């Protein structure tokens, strides 16, 4: 039997593969074919990596402090 702990990382792997294909396409189309400067494209590509620590912190807090808890502590 496969546990959820073995399946959940596969979702992140599939998202990462999709993002890598999308980034390659964006680089080719936006920089080479549309003539967009490389700087805005690089910023768009870097934004998810810049905000990744904040996403992890928000996820940690939402796991530890359930929605609707008045004091922010576990019941």
Sign, CA dihedral 22-25-27-31, equals negative
Question: pLDDT, tens digit, for every residue of 32-59?
Answer: 888 888 888 888 888 888 888 888 888 7
- What's the mean pLDDT in 68-72? 57
Q: Residues 41, 27: contact at Cβ < 8 Å?
A: yes
Ranges of each domain in the chain: 13-64
Query: What is the pTM for the complete model shown?
Result: 0.52
């Amino acid at each position: 039997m496969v546990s959820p702990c073995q399946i959940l990382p596969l979702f992140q792997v599939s998202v990462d593969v999709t993002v890598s294909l999308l980034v390659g396409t964006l680089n080719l189309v936006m920089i080479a074919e549309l003539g967009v400067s490389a700087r805005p494209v690089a910023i768009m590509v870097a934004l998810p990596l810049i905000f990744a620590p904040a996403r992890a912190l928000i996820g940690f807090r939402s796991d530890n402090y359930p929605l609707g808890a008045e004091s922010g502590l576990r019941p």
